[in-house]
Chains A and B, each alone.
Chain A
Amino acid sequence: MSRVRILGPRHRLSEMVGVLQDAGTVHLTRPSAEALHPVPESLHRDEESRLREALENVEATLEALPVQDVQPEIPDAISAEDLRRWEQLAERLRRRAEDLTGRARELERRAVDLDRFLDLFRRFGDLLPEEPGNDGVRSWFLVLRTGGSDSTDRLRGALEEKLGEGFELTVGEERGEGRAAVLRASGEAARGIDDVLSGAGVEEVGLPTRLPGGASLAGATDAMRERRSELRDKVQRLERERQGLAAEHGPGLLGVRLAIRDRLARIEALRTAARTDRAFVLEGWVPEEELDGLRQRIENDFGDAAALEKIATEKWRGEQAPVALSNPRIFRPFEAVTRMLPLPTYGSIDPTPYVAVFFPMFFGIILGDVAYGLTLGALAAWLHHRSDADSILRSVSEVAGACAAFTVVFGFVYGEFLGDLGHRVFGLEPLIFDREDALIPFLGLAVALGVVHVLIGFILGAVSSVRDEPREAVGRGLYALMVVLVAVALLAAVRILPGAFFTPAVVALLVAFPVLIIVEGVLAPVELISTLGNVLSYARIMALGTASVVMAVVANELVGTVGSALVGALFGLLFHLVNFALGVFGPTIHGLRLHYVEFFDKFYSPGGEQYRPFRHVRSEDRAAASLDT
């Protein structure tokens, strides 16, 4: 990254900002020279408030209209007159859209009411009279939820006690949640009936007081159905009209929104400049490889009137520079894993290439099954096909693809295809070891990977701090050495290495230990123990891997134990699906954890500022990015 200063005549500042926006490579910052006058915040304040007001207006309209999957039509320039015109159109469209939505909502509410009434009519069925009731006789429509004849008898008993013979209770068939019942009695008895009903906990339901066309209660259902269907048709017509408006004006509204954001970004950029009476100064960061192109562009547009100078490296510090992760294509998807943490500081080590090697490897070692690997590969291919280039989903699909490849490879290493099914059906044999039986070799492999991973972390830590903090670099190196010595001593003790290694390793440890305390301080022993804990933490690779294979074997065993072979096979397949889901989730979480906690801790220096070049806002993604700044 190069720090650059751009100078030019004061009256051409706006033009220069336009050129920089076209170039799209400069991360602008405020100039560092104190003698300069910063551009006042009030510059273009009026234009900014007009733009923000228009943006708010357009956004409110886009919220009211269902604009989806349309390509924005971005205008080349947006004058004050255009802005006014767009604002008026947006206002008009929003009112229309809100009116359509409100009407559709009201009609839908009425249709839902009819749904409810029709449901009640269905439940009350034959209990409803053909004609409205006689004068002076009132009906109560009840739902007896408790079910059974006991509750009906109790209610009848209670009513008899209160009213004697002066009522008629008709109870329907049990349907769904309870029985519908209709109680008829004189209006004078209403008070007593209400008391009985509330005492018995019986729910009274409301039926429409006025029926379409003055029909009888039972005969009204057809009219209600017809009315409901009319209402739903109207709702659909209103929705179609709203969609028509969205299709007609959506691309223009989306385009003008981007154009407004583009213009706002330019105003923000103008405010990062500083001025003297006659000149302007802009400062920023440009990737080294873009520098010549930018210089050429300025020369073409301004000739001798403006100049771009590179500020010498000794005049700025690395922590001030923004960070852009830049990796070869094959490693680039794994930047998504690195980006889940705050970015590394400028000039420190980007761990992405190491993540690209170790993360899928750990994943493959844990899941290690040919069939699971192929399934994951198919899912990754599908996701790759469905995702846009440069999207986060595309990165996820590529990381999943790498994990799937390692899973297949380790599936052959362990001889696993849906657990031991490959061995049983087509005699698949492990290439190196069967992890179901060889627990100790598997544990050894996991811990050995831990030693290697942690060692690489320490070495990277030593390399990254060797220039600025040589003492820390020595400390990192000593930790790395001690991890190796502990490993050698242990391997010699259990006779995996020749016994002759044991004494020299222990002596070297005894010598290195006080040096470590001198270099790193009295807390060094604590960190050393925690480092050994870090190494042992890699045992989780073996623990999860063993759990995964045992689950797969259990799934296969189910085939022979549950009833018919077909039921057993289905049950086994279901179990494999569960195991596959767990097998994808577990290694991902634990692989990330091993990287973030055990590995990055040794060298990673977070806190870098994201490189955000000042450029045109031409898509929603860029708009979001520009708003973040």
Chain B
Amino acid sequence: MKIAEHTGAFAGDKDAAASIRDEYIKPTLENGKDILLDFEGVDLATQSFIHALIAAVVREKSENLDHISFKNCNENVQSLIEIVVEYAQDEFE
């Protein structure tokens, strides 16, 4: 899945993230297949975009991460993914 084809260079639109999540990520995981999220061409993403993209599937079952690969992430995108992946596994007080 090439993220930039849905978002352009700036991945901020949560509606686009939710669409990728519901139409690609969730069905693919349910079919037991692996996922490749390719961020080539994405210069910047927002926390809310990354949250809408992956927080639900990580929170539902963190082992889902074993079936997801993140490709061509720049430093900022990688940091945001790591932040969301971490707090999606947190238990809030």
A binds B: no
